[in-house]
Amino acid sequence: RAKALGRNNYRHFTVNLSNDGYDRLEWITRLRNALANGEFMLHYQPKIEVLSGRVTGAEALLRWRTADGQMISPAEFIPLAEEIGLIVPIGEWVLNEACRTNRAWQAAGYRPIPVSVNISAIQLERDDLVHKVTQALNETGLTARFLELEITESALMSDVNQSIATLNRLRELGVQIAIDDFGTGYSSLGHLKRFAVNTLKIDQSFIRNITTDRGNAGIVQAVISLAHTLGLTVVAEGVETPDEYRHLSARGCDLIQGYYTGRPVTADQLVTQLRPVR
Ligand code: C2E
Ligand code: MG
Ligand code: MG
Ligand code: MG
Minimum-distance ligand 1 atom for the alpha carbon of 257: 15
Cross-strand pairs, 14: 3, 71
Q: Flag whether pLDDT at 118 surpasses 60.
A: yes
Strand 199-202 relative to strand 233-237, pairing = parallel
* Whole-Å CA distances, 252 to 7, 51, 107, 255: 29, 9, 33, 9
Q: Ligand 1 pocket by C-beta < 6 Å: which residues?
A: 45, 61-62, 73-75, 78, 91, 94, 118, 120, 150, 180-181, 204, 237-240, 258-259, 264
Q: Flag whether pLDDT at 186 surpasses 80.
A: no
Rounded to two decimals, the pTM is: 0.94
Instruction: Quote the ipTM score.
Output: 0.98
- Predicted confidence band at 277 (pLDDT cuts at 50, 70, 90)? low
Nearest partner of 254 among 187, 169, 194, 178, judged by Cα: 178
CA 198 to chain centre: 14
State residue 189's pLDDT score: 83
pLDDT tens digit sequence for 231-258? 999 999 999 999 999 999 999 999 999 9
State residue 1's pLDDT score: 28
Give me the percent of the chain exceeding a pLDDT of 70.
91
- Predicted confidence band at 275 (pLDDT cuts at 50, 70, 90)? confident
Range in 3-12, 54-63, 219-228, 260-269 the model is least confident about? 3-12
State residue 65's pLDDT score: 95
Neighbours of 252 (CB within 10 A): 14
Backbone phi, psi, residue 234, to 5° = -125, 130
pLDDT tens digit sequence for 1-23? 233 333 443 334 456 676 666 78
Minimum-distance ligand 1 atom for the alpha carbon of 94: 41
Nearest partner of 256 among 44, 56, 7, 42, judged by Cα: 56
More confident residue, 273 or 188: 273
Q: Any idea which ligand is nearest the CA of 59?
A: 2
Backbone phi, psi, residue 15, to 5° = -120, 140
Note whether 14 and 72 are within 8 A (CB): yes
Mutate to test the pocket of ligand 1, among 5, 61, 78, 101 (most ligand atoms within 8 A of CB): 61
What's at 259, amino acid-wise?
Y
CA 39 – CA 71 distance, rounded (Å):
10
Q: Flag whether pLDDT at 64 surpasses 50.
A: yes
Q: Any idea which ligand is nearest the CA of 238?
A: 1
- What is the H or E stretch that residue 112 is in? none
State residue 23's pLDDT score: 80
Give me the percent of the chain exceeding a pLDDT of 90.
84
